[in-house]
Structure 1
């Protein structure tokens, strides 16, 4: 049995023939919030000019948006475990619609910043609940592949969203971006209402202790803590490199911002290809084996980058980014499969697991990005960045080595979990 406590056979029967529809829904739900983040970035200078405020104030439409993404996930995940996936998704995206309308009619920059925060809170519901839905519908060995498939499709949207935002702003003004986001959110709500089955029934108030019990159970599991930290540390590699990259390439290497953008796109391409390969090979290999394969590539790329930095070869963008592509290719295997492991430890608390993981990912990632920007701006060589990437790669591997139990122990935990689920269905 691979299901979740409270999941009916009707859900499986409904979801099976509509796998493509479900995939499109999962991509839309998980992707709307991050795409909305990136769409506004090209318009930030225009925002500052229109409202007569400093660009640093306009930047808060991005920074507080990320805070909203982090805060929402720790809240919406447990709520989806408690009340079901559909009602929480519908409520979250309705909040996003209302906040998007607030952005559309904002008369001052503070009003826009506040509306953007609530836009993120509502939109992040899709990010956290989509992972829980994947775990509801698919067995543990297929979760990593499905997450990779969603990420691969999402990556395409994220890569073109700044261009789409720039084109909308140039042709119709920055408010056109929010017209597009509002329309997309309305379509998503309609799709959820008509096509998404409930994959998790609301808990019986008399039999559920709620978030604290779920959190206590998850945090007492070495498997969950290990997988979660592995995923969080793997994602921090992306935040760290992105935070320092502009300073390293533009300031230290004296290259143009256009050249930096072109080189940075290679990292996204490697990550996309890694996810597609994970989709291809995940059904044929154990989840932990795929994680270790990715960790080996991460470590190899990080070590090579440090070697190039110490020998001085890293002063050329080609050496830095081609090696970093190896890191990002392996990172795709680590992130999707460690996320699958984390939300599979206690399937009936998949929402809580997903929310906790997403909250830590955004929170720790923002700190890494800020620290990396300091490294890039205060040193004349990429070596400090190389050391930071290697340290994070080693820490990521350590979580799997020292925290995640061996297969025999995990098999015993899985049998206990299955027995608990079957008891709950009786």
Structure 2
């Protein structure tokens, strides 16, 4: 199978064989989606879990909150480990941990047992989230990475949108343990697929600097810091809006939770559309141009929403969410291409770069979502929330403008990569 999938690890090249590309896309989507899909599948069953184990709903909520902590911890550890030991062994170990933890969750007899199993489930499953970006950088040239990340996100989002519905149907038909049986079987299937079909893609390392050396060289690189901050700050727009949106729609506007859910799904569709457009435009445009296009559109949309707030005319969901859809479509361009730039600064440390970026995204996101909830719940207008979104958009642009070199960075990275390939 190694022969089918391509050449030995080295300089990144694009795969053009349709069968190979479809198989690789399937594996990337599967390894990326297994953790977030497992997160959302359990959400509809939280009230049932609280009743079953005679626990407070806040305790049952820890099966979600500590799951997110597990994802953050996994991002920070699995990426560097994959740089040191290889993508395949670390990914397979992580997925094996998820299979074992999912089985343990299905057999849990107490709430603490279930919470512990969920943490381990996230710790193992999230390895696919961080390593998938590193694998994409291993296999594809710098200007194709953003498009591939967007494609994986687009396909994964369809499954992720359906995961809560699937979890609810499983719980209603067979009980909450059926959700974990399904997750166990699915994660086992992904593990087998990866073991059979995925070759080792990690680049040969010229030196053995280890995690401290890799993270030190990355943090000392202005371009990496700029790309990473741009990606992390862009992702916070989603977190702050998700945190404050329910309070604004339900409390301020007096609408139902179902109506909020429909409008929020519309912003998710806009994000999906933005990723698909990024896939289409990426082959014809440089990575930096795509980022700046997204930043310009993101700034324009957030400024328009801020203007509606000042004018007092977006006290209806159609105004707030309609403009936010522009921001979300632009956000897709910014996030995928700035992530591509970050993991391309030092390709042999792509796992460490991906892990640091993912850890910051999740860790800061937990705080920013709380900020969004506070802004939405302690105000009588949409102004605080739209001002926060505009501020984040400005911060994204500043990270690119002041930290990422505007001339020669892409060329220099391609020259370095080519030289490394020739040395090998």
Question: What's the offset of the Cα at 1:411?
Answer: 2.5
2: CA distance, partners of 1:182 / 1:134: 26
Question: What's the offset of the Cα at 1:377?
Answer: 1.0
Q: Could you say which residue in structure 2 is the equivalent of 1:49?
A: 51
- The answer to whether the 8 Å contact 1:6/1:200 transfers is no
2: CA distance, partners of 1:44 / 1:17: 41
The alpha-carbon distance between structure 1 residues 83 and 307, as it changes in their structure 2 partners (threshold 3 A), is: same
Question: What's the offset of the Cα at 1:8?
Answer: 4.9
1:106 is paired with a residue whose SS is coil
Question: What's the offset of the Cα at 1:419?
Answer: 2.9
- Decide which of 34, 37, 41 is 2:36's aligned counterpart: 34
The alpha-carbon distance between structure 1 residues 340 and 8, as it changes in their structure 2 partners (threshold 3 A), is: closer
2: CA distance, partners of 1:120 / 1:46: 21
Question: What's the offset of the Cα at 1:158?
Answer: 1.0
Please say if 1:162 is aligned against 2:160: no
Question: What's the offset of the Cα at 1:311?
Answer: 1.2
Q: Could you say which residue in structure 2 is the equivalent of 1:225?
A: 225
1: CA distance, partners of 2:203 / 2:341: 22
- Decide which of 161, 167, 183 is 2:185's aligned counterpart: 183
- The answer to whether the 8 Å contact 2:136/2:145 transfers is yes
Question: What's the offset of the Cα at 1:412?
Answer: 3.0
Please say if 1:80 is aligned against 2:82: yes
- The answer to whether the 8 Å contact 1:309/1:382 transfers is yes
TM alignment of 1:124-163, pairs within 5 A: 124-163=126-165
Question: What's the offset of the Cα at 1:409?
Answer: 4.4
Question: What's the offset of the Cα at 1:278?
Answer: 0.4
- The answer to whether the 8 Å contact 2:344/2:413 transfers is no
2: CA distance, partners of 1:215 / 1:16: 36
- The answer to whether the 8 Å contact 2:11/2:138 transfers is no
List alignment gaps of at least 5 residues for structure 1.
Answer: none
- The answer to whether the 8 Å contact 1:66/1:120 transfers is yes
List alignment gaps of at least 5 residues for structure 2.
Answer: 1-6
With the length of structure 1 as denominator, give the TM-score of the two structures.
0.95
TM alignment of 1:272-283, pairs within 5 A: 272-283=272-283
- Post-superposition Cα deviations, 1:222-243, rounded to whole Å, max 9, x if no partner, equal 1110000000000000011001
- The answer to whether the 8 Å contact 2:218/2:353 transfers is yes
Q: Could you say which residue in structure 1 is the equivalent of 2:333?
A: 333
2: CA distance, partners of 1:409 / 1:168: 50
Q: Could you say which residue in structure 1 is the equivalent of 2:4?
A: none
Q: How many aligned positions are there?
A: 418
The alpha-carbon distance between structure 1 residues 59 and 13, as it changes in their structure 2 partners (threshold 3 A), is: closer
With the length of structure 2 as denominator, give the TM-score of the two structures.
0.95
- The answer to whether the 8 Å contact 2:14/2:141 transfers is no
Q: Could you say which residue in structure 2 is the equivalent of 1:123?
A: 125
The alpha-carbon distance between structure 1 residues 217 and 6, as it changes in their structure 2 partners (threshold 3 A), is: farther
2: CA distance, partners of 1:329 / 1:97: 35
2:408 is paired with a residue whose SS is helix
The alpha-carbon distance between structure 1 residues 15 and 114, as it changes in their structure 2 partners (threshold 3 A), is: farther
The alpha-carbon distance between structure 1 residues 289 and 13, as it changes in their structure 2 partners (threshold 3 A), is: closer
Q: Could you say which residue in structure 1 is the equivalent of 2:24?
A: 22
TM alignment of 1:20-419, pairs within 5 A: 20-200=22-202, 207-419=207-419
